Chain A
């Protein structure tokens, strides 16, 4: 079951990279960045998952050495990563809006005043 997660995560990351490299439209490039981010997030959650484990919510008295639960650290990491990803997307899209106003195009092949 969990292997499907890993395959999905890697697939999402590769699709994201493919979109960034091959698509000329700036919005699509931003979507590629999103996809890559989601792939990484899926990978993180999958790594912390223990089949059959309970939710990692305990008080001190309940916690005994035999407790079997999913790893809480990757979940915290995912939350952080999702927040960062959302910020990056907002930033990317706002830059795209400004580029559209200034260059009158969203074609990456024509937004290349800085080269050489």
Chain B
């Protein structure tokens, strides 16, 4: 029975979406219960698979309609669930379930909700189908389903500012990416005459990469990179995350870009086995570093809560990609750990933005302020998310970033290369900038003076709060018990990512790889230990002590602080700081906390602003140009 669970979990999401079309139109209760029920079923089914796959190390293969391979040739469509697939599937089902629960109240003021839940479950089914699939073309179909559903959901609140144009841009760039994926699939098919991932992997390993396969591979890589929104492909993601309802933004950043990352990991490690080549490592690390740096600097200059979070989401995906591109055991583990953490803290932050929007009706940083008094629980939850994303110990972001820095540094030491040392520095710098920009958001949304228009804000209802609390608790737990998470989730998944032979044999029958002359050993060993493997509990104690000290000093200082009433002159804040006589009276808004940095780097920021012009043709041009560069690089150096 248990081998049917993967397909049943995919089917239940699609079945739920069809049932909502039929029965969900009239009655609110039926619609909501169908949505929650059919997003809870996959959660249960996938959780049942944890024991056999992650702990016992089995690999499930499942041929649809029992079309098993005939004389060593895959003729059916297969599902294959190894630890890597299951790792991403767990993220997907958790995100889908929590977002469905959050939507119940959050979306209750919109109409046409049966369409919303239909598309929502379809999106979940698409991503789940992608990560569990063992067939190259099936992956393409799922990519199309998820793109289609995401575009429709981006445009769902079409009364909002810019949601229609965001949807259109997303559709154009998304379908260029999908066309690249399809072309890549068919070029690979023309070479090996099969679509099963396992068989392609075995055949390519024996035959070696020809120019045609490399071209197809580059197209597939660029296509999945479009779905993961890494840098030349990212502007549409910022628009889509910003304009979609918050529950959908959470789904986008929690699992849709994970689908792209999953596709890239699966392709480069398993299907093409290209990660042993240093050129491949270089291009992935360069793309990752560009993604994290450009993402975070764009975030610094944003004035919209959700758009800022969107750029941070892009930036954090850069960490995952960089770590995965290092191709060391520690690197893959750090990358996957960060992918898990990204789902948790980014989903949490988007839900907080949704909660603010629900009670105030705006996400413009200039219009928000002082919400900590009105929404204390949301503030605490947001702070947990912000600490996690900025990598403060003992929250989970610290753990994964620590692993990533260490992996990059280790790689630099191993190869004696200056480039990888630079990667570590970029990682640290981006982390600092992330913290800086979250200080800005926290200050301008939750602290400071109560902004006009926020007086009537209330704490959000319980059904919205408990998914947020659950994710916040998970953020703290994954930070406090990294050994546990590593042992049961991350290390099995990283081992599965590099265990090509096991993957091929599970799908095509034992000994298939050896028949073709593949050696059974894997390329990397997962033996590593963390230098300075730290004790999170001690950090927690330190954190609590510091927090208590801060509270006490704030409490003591309050009485002596008198009101400052001095005339404020025009705006001398951009004056050079020599004496600073005039500028001390200048008023700096909470959303403009880093005006000095922005002023000094104004040429860079102006250039980046002109790159993100908002014209769909430009975004299509970046996509095509990025793909062309990737193809050129791979054909020249692979």
Binding site for B on A (CB under 8 A): 13, 17, 20-24, 26, 29, 33, 36-37, 40, 43-44, 47, 71, 73-74, 77, 80-81, 84, 87-88, 91-92, 95-96, 98-99, 102-103, 108-109, 111-116
Contacts and interface: CB of A to CB of B under 8 A. Distances in A.
B contact patch SS: helix
B168 A96 contact: yes
Contacts of B166: 114
B243 interface: yes
User: Considering the complex of A and B, which 6 residue pairs feature the smallest CB-CB distances, nearest first?
Assistant: A112-B614, A115-B614, A114-B162, A113-B162, A47-B190, A114-B239
B450 interface: no
A89 B578 CA distance: 60
A43 B195 contact: no
B155 A77 contact: no
B371 interface: no
A47 B239 CA distance: 38
Contacts of B167: 95
Contact of A113 (B165, B302, B621): B165
B327 interface: no
Given A29-B617, A113-B161, A114-B162, 15 more contacts: A21-B620, A23-B617, A29-B616, A36-B176, A40-B182, A40-B183, A47-B190, A88-B148, A92-B172, A95-B151, A99-B168, A103-B165, A108-B615, A113-B162, A115-B612
Contacts of A73: 189, 195
B106 interface: no
B179 interface: yes
B595 to A, nearest CB: 16
B176 A17 contact: yes
Interface in B425-442: none
Contacts of A102: 158, 164
B152 interface: yes
Interface string B604-633: 000001001111110011001000000000
Interface string B111-155: 000000000000000000000000001000100100010011001
Given A95-B164, A95-B167, A115-B614, A33 B189 contact: no
Interface residues of B, number: 45
Contacts of A109: 615
Contact of B614 (A20, A92, A114): A114
Q: Is the interface of A mostly helix, strand, loop or mixed?
A: helix
B301 interface: yes
A37 B175 CA distance: 9
B400 to A, nearest CB: 30
B151 A91 contact: yes
Interface string B495-506: 000000000000
A84 B189 CA distance: 20
B243 to A, nearest CB: 7
Nearest to B144: A84
Contacts of B144: 84, 88
Contacts of B239: 114
A36 B172 CA distance: 11
A102 B613 CA distance: 20
B617 A20 contact: yes
B117 to A, nearest CB: 18
Nearest to A71: B193
Given A26-B168, A36-B176, A95-B155, A116 B617 contact: no
Interface in B147-204: 148, 151-152, 155, 158, 161-162, 164-168, 171-172, 175-176, 179, 182-183, 185-186, 189-190, 193, 195
A96 B155 CA distance: 11
A36 to B, nearest CB: 5
